[in-house]
Structure 1
Amino acid sequence: MAITSANQLELLQTAEAVAREKMIDPGLVVEAMEESLARAAKSRYGSEMDIRVSIDRKTGRATFTRVRTVVEEEELENYQSELTVEQAKQYMADPAVGDTYVEEIPPVEMGRIAAQSAKQVILQKVREAERDRQYEEFKDRAGTIINGLVKREEYGNVIVDLGAGEAILRRNEKIGREAYRPNDRIRCYIKDVRREQRGPQIFLSRTAPEFMAELFKMEVPEIYDGIIEIKAVARDPGSRAKIAVISYDGSIDPVGACVGMRGSRVQAVVNELQGEKIDIIPWNEDQPTFLVNALQPAEVSKVVLDDEAGKIEVVVPEEQLSLAIGRRGQNVRLASQLTKLDIDIMTEAEESARRQKEFEARTALFMSTLDLDEFFAQLLVSEGFSSLEEVAYVEIDELLVIDGVDEGTASELQARARDYLEAQAKAALDAAREMGVEENLIAFEGLTPQMVEALAKDDVKTLEDFATCADWELAGGWTTVDGQRVKDDGVLEPFGISLEEAQDMVMTARIVLGWVDPEELASAEEDETADEEDEA
């Protein structure tokens, strides 16, 4: 097949036809043709030659050229595509290294094998252009809902035809009891779009919490307009879900708007999710109040929040316990996902028993350390004293409010508490020194003798050892393992040291040792603050 004037325009017509069919730029098809013709020419003239083909976008005329680059004589390697300065003087005036000499060569006659090879190159280029187009089309649609037709099912995964491409709904992204047949219409959430070797991969989901949020956005105009915002969603796909909403217009009830007239809006979402029961909950900035709402329909008696541990205790009446927990723990699990808190549910009787145990433990502490009778120790606990430090260092007026306590009794109580604490501190220091703790750690500001002893037991015996500790090693923390929050115990956690305090102590130790320049640290903190302000 020769590129003659008879079929020059046919090249352009073919390129335009392919481009229309695949919905890609005709220029990409012409470039693919140029590359395929260049390959055919190389097979005819020699693979070491640098042969290029240019197709005129108006006339369709294909021009074949041979390109040679001027190089230094000692760098000459390929005699077919390179030439020295001396050789170039035959063709060019005043040649320099890096110049190129271009000469036109006769078009090639394409045999059957060359034509087949050219066809493969064009098809490959067209496929690549089609994949790029699909990726560009869908990459910005991640996080939205799309409708498609079920094409086939492979090993539990559903292949969905989106018109401009195919997507996959994996088995674990389907709602449990759903089954599909070819040509069924399906509505899914585009979870991710990835550019891969075999083309763009579009991953769909019907179990993602975002799918429910997008469905509500479609059904509730107030959400679409931004008057109502969905703050959190938790789902047990196909069974039950909780969704937290807030209204920025005082005249609009967020729950009522999402439910709709006679439940029409929420029912449309329920029908799409195969009957999944949905609890719509008003969102609240106050976490305990939000949690009480999230545990509906159960009634809550009391909530105790531990901010540092990210944990919350909920007390419910005995008859409400099963309702609060839900079938197989579903209600409390969804409430935990919604609030992002670990929830510990107990009955009023269990909470009363725990408080009684704490009361007895504190009473026994005061009886044994302060040499008090049971009645007087219970009186101290009842007034809110929970530790010897509180008794020893509290303002004396706070002791005088206790019935039967005068100034002499209060002073005696404080003296006993201080004597005991000093004895404990001396014993702790003696034990620490016996374990080899250095004086620079004992004298470090912020560490009590009991803390130093605890550090020594953990093999932290010098200020250098202390300066290498991580904040969570000292104060403790929480890590997530296989989706479960796991507690990391800190060496100084029993003494109430927070993560921030641990960070400050470790950094101070590093400054004392000269490991950190305080001026550089201050400058870095100022830069970080400025960056945060810029982002804000």
Structure 2
Amino acid sequence: MAITSANQLELLQTAEAVAREKNIDPGLVVEAMEESLARAAKSRYGAEMDIRVSIDRKTGRATFTRVRTVVDEEEYENYQSQFTVETAKGYIEDPKVGDTLVEQVPPVELGRIAAQSAKQVILQKVREAERDKQYEEFKDRAGTIINAMVKREEYGNVIVDVGSGEAILRRNEKIGREAYRPNDRIRCYIKDVRREQRGPQIFLSRTAPEFMAELFKMEVPEIYEGIIEIKAVARDPGSRAKIAVISYDSGIDPVGACVGMRGSRVQAVVNELQGEKIDIIPWNEDMPTFLVNALQPAEVSKVVLDEEAGKIEVVVPDEQLSLAIGRRGQNVRLASMLTGLDIDILTEEEESKRRQAEFEVRTKLFMDTLDLDEFFAQLLVSEGFTNLEEVAYVDAEELLVIEGVDDDTAGELQARARDYLEAQNAKALDRARELGAEDSLIEFEGLTPQMVEALAEDDVKTLEDFATCADWELAGGWTIVNGERHKDEGTLEKFDISLEEAQNMIMTARVMLGWVDPDDLVSDADDADMHEEAEA
């Protein structure tokens, strides 16, 4: 096949026909043709040559050119497509590195093999253009709901037609035991769109919490308009769900708006989710209050929140325990997912027993360490003293409010507590030195002797070792693995230091060692303050 005047226009007509059929830009098809013709020309003139083809978008005329580039002497490798500055002087006036010489060469005639190769290049380019178009179409639709038609099922995964391509609803993203037949209409949430070697992959879901949120947005105009906001969603797909909502208009009840007249709005969502029961809960900034709402229909007697550990204890009446936990732990599990906290549920009887046990432990501590009788030790615990440090270093006036304690007794109590603590400190320091703790660590401000001993036992023996630690390695923390929270034990966690305190100590150590410039810390702090002010 030669590119003659008789078939020049056929190139453009073919490009337009293919573009119309595949719904892509005709220019992309023409570019594919240019590349295929350039490959064919290289097989005729030599693979070392830089042959380029340009097709006129109006006439269809194909122009073949040979391009040679001026390069440095050191980079000169291919005489067919490169010049040195010296060689180029015979062809280009005042040549410089980067200049090019473009010469037109005769068009080539495509043989059967070359024509077949050109066809493959064009088809490949067209496929790539189709994939790019599909990816561009769906990448911004991630996080939205799509209506699709079922095409087939493969190993439990449902392949659906989304118009310009296919998407997959994996079996673990289906609700319960949903089954679909070809041509069934299905509504799904676009969970992810990825560009992969075999083309864009569109992953759908019907179990994602976001799917429920988007369904409510479609059914409740106040959510779509931003008057009501969905703050959190927790689902046990196909069985039960909890959704927390807040209204920014005091005249609109968020729960009532989501339920709708005679439950019409929530019922539409329930029907789409195969009868999944939905608890609509009012959001509250106060976490304990929000948790009480989240555990409905169970009644809660008391809530104790430990924000640092991300943990919360809930005390319920004995007869409410099974309702609070729910069938197979469903109610408390959904409430935990909704609040992002670990929830421990205790009955009033269990909490009473635990409080009694803690009372006895603290009483025994004061009896053993301060040489007190049981009655006097119980008095201290009853007044809220929980450890020896509080007794040793509290203002004496706080001890004098205890019945039967005068100035002399208060002084004796504090002296005994301090003597005991000093003895324990000396013992801890001796042990830390035996383990190899250096003075640089022992004398570091903020670390008690017991902390130094714990660090030495964990092979942190110098200030350099301490400075390389992460804050969670000292204070402990939580890691999310497969959606479940796992506890990371910290070396100094038993001393009740927070992540912020641990971070400050580590940064102080790094500054002392010269690893960090103090000015950088001030600048980072200023940037953080400015960012917070901007957000506010």
Q: TM-score, normalised by structure 1?
A: 0.91
Q: Which residue does the alignment assign to 2:320? A: 320
Does the residue aligned with 2:405 lie in a helix, a strand or coil?
coil
Q: Which residue does the alignment assign to 1:250? A: 250
Does the residue aligned with 2:5 lie in a helix, a strand or coil?
coil
Matches within 5 A, 1:287-326: 287-326=287-326
Name which of structure 1's ranges 333-342 and 409-418 shifts more when overlaid on structure 2.
Answer: 409-418
1:399-456 per-position Cα deviation (integer Å, ceiling 9, x unaligned) = 3333333334333333333333333334434444555544444433323333333334
Name which of structure 1's ranges 28-37 and 481-490 shifts more when overlaid on structure 2.
Answer: 481-490
1:2-27 per-position Cα deviation (integer Å, ceiling 9, x unaligned) = 33333332322221121122111111
Distance 1:448 1:100, change over 3 A: closer
Q: Which residue does the alignment assign to 2:501? A: 501
Name which of structure 1's ranges 166-175 and 406-415 shifts more when overlaid on structure 2.
Answer: 406-415
Distance 1:513 1:87, change over 3 A: closer
Q: Which residue does the alignment assign to 2:356? A: 356
Q: Which residue does the alignment assign to 2:10? A: 10
Q: Which residue does the alignment assign to 1:412? A: 412
Does the residue aligned with 1:405 lie in a helix, a strand or coil?
coil
CA distance in 1, matches of 2:44, 2:433: 89
C-alpha deviation, 1:215, in angstroms = 0.6
The alignment of Structure 1 onto Structure 2 pairs a total of residues equal to 536
Name which of structure 1's ranges 76-85 and 436-445 shifts more when overlaid on structure 2.
Answer: 76-85
Instruction: Give the fraction of aligned pairs with identical amino acids, expressed as a percent.
Output: 86
1:90-116 per-position Cα deviation (integer Å, ceiling 9, x unaligned) = 776676665444444444333333332
Matched residue type, 1:152: R
Matched residue type, 1:28: L
CA distance in 1, matches of 2:98, 2:519: 53
1:444-482 per-position Cα deviation (integer Å, ceiling 9, x unaligned) = 332333333333444444444444443333322223344
1:333-391 per-position Cα deviation (integer Å, ceiling 9, x unaligned) = 11111100011111111111100101111122222223332222222222222222222
C-alpha deviation, 1:45, in angstroms = 4.0
Aligned CA-pair RMSD: 2.7
1:200-222 per-position Cα deviation (integer Å, ceiling 9, x unaligned) = 11111111111111111001000
Matched residue type, 2:328: R
Name which of structure 1's ranges 278-287 and 457-466 shifts more when overlaid on structure 2.
Answer: 457-466
Name which of structure 1's ranges 85-94 and 422-431 shifts more when overlaid on structure 2.
Answer: 85-94
Matched residue type, 2:60: G
1:241-281 per-position Cα deviation (integer Å, ceiling 9, x unaligned) = 11110000001010111111111111111111111111111
Distance 1:260 1:437, change over 3 A: same
CA distance in 2, matches of 1:410, 1:174: 68
C-alpha deviation, 1:149, in angstroms = 0.7
C-alpha deviation, 1:28, in angstroms = 1.2
C-alpha deviation, 1:87, in angstroms = 7.6
Distance 1:202 1:469, change over 3 A: closer
CA distance in 1, matches of 2:96, 2:425: 86
Distance 1:4 1:433, change over 3 A: closer
1:292-332 per-position Cα deviation (integer Å, ceiling 9, x unaligned) = 11111111111111111111111111111111111111111
Q: Which residue does the alignment assign to 2:210? A: 210
Matched, 1:135 2:119: no
1:148-179 per-position Cα deviation (integer Å, ceiling 9, x unaligned) = 11111111111111111111111211112111
CA distance in 2, matches of 1:499, 1:431: 26
Q: Which residue does the alignment assign to 1:39? A: 39
Matches within 5 A, 1:183-194: 183-194=183-194
CA distance in 2, matches of 1:309, 1:167: 41
Q: Which residue does the alignment assign to 1:30? A: 30
CA distance in 2, matches of 1:220, 1:179: 28
Q: Which residue does the alignment assign to 2:391? A: 391
Matched, 1:122 2:109: no
Matched residue type, 1:388: L
Does the residue aligned with 1:6 lie in a helix, a strand or coil?
helix
C-alpha deviation, 1:41, in angstroms = 3.2
Does the residue aligned with 1:7 lie in a helix, a strand or coil?
helix
CA distance in 1, matches of 2:192, 2:444: 52
Distance 1:93 1:432, change over 3 A: closer
Matched residue type, 1:115: A
C-alpha deviation, 1:129, in angstroms = 1.1
Does the residue aligned with 1:42 lie in a helix, a strand or coil?
helix
Matched residue type, 1:151: K
Matches within 5 A, 1:452-467: 452-467=452-467
CA distance in 1, matches of 2:186, 2:263: 23
Q: Which residue does the alignment assign to 1:376? A: 376
CA distance in 1, matches of 2:370, 2:20: 93
Name which of structure 1's ranges 511-520 and 153-162 shifts more when overlaid on structure 2.
Answer: 511-520
Name which of structure 1's ranges 224-233 and 103-112 shifts more when overlaid on structure 2.
Answer: 103-112
Does the residue aligned with 1:244 lie in a helix, a strand or coil?
strand
Matched residue type, 1:118: A
Matched residue type, 1:450: Q
Name which of structure 1's ranges 477-486 and 64-73 shifts more when overlaid on structure 2.
Answer: 64-73
CA distance in 1, matches of 2:489, 2:82: 70
C-alpha deviation, 1:84, in angstroms = 7.1
Distance 1:238 1:8, change over 3 A: same
Q: Which residue does the alignment assign to 2:365? A: 365
CA distance in 1, matches of 2:409, 2:307: 38
CA distance in 2, matches of 1:51, 1:416: 95
Matches within 5 A, 1:476-515: 476-515=476-515
Matched residue type, 2:224: Y
Matched, 1:425 2:435: no
C-alpha deviation, 1:78, in angstroms = 4.7
Name which of structure 1's ranges 103-112 and 19-28 shifts more when overlaid on structure 2.
Answer: 103-112
C-alpha deviation, 1:120, in angstroms = 1.7
CA distance in 2, matches of 1:71, 1:88: 10
Distance 1:99 1:277, change over 3 A: same
Q: Which residue does the alignment assign to 1:227? A: 227
Distance 1:54 1:505, change over 3 A: closer
Matched residue type, 2:7: N
Q: TM-score, normalised by structure 2?
A: 0.91
Q: Which residue does the alignment assign to 2:150? A: 150
The answer for unaligned runs of 5 or more in structure 1 is none
Matched residue type, 1:225: E
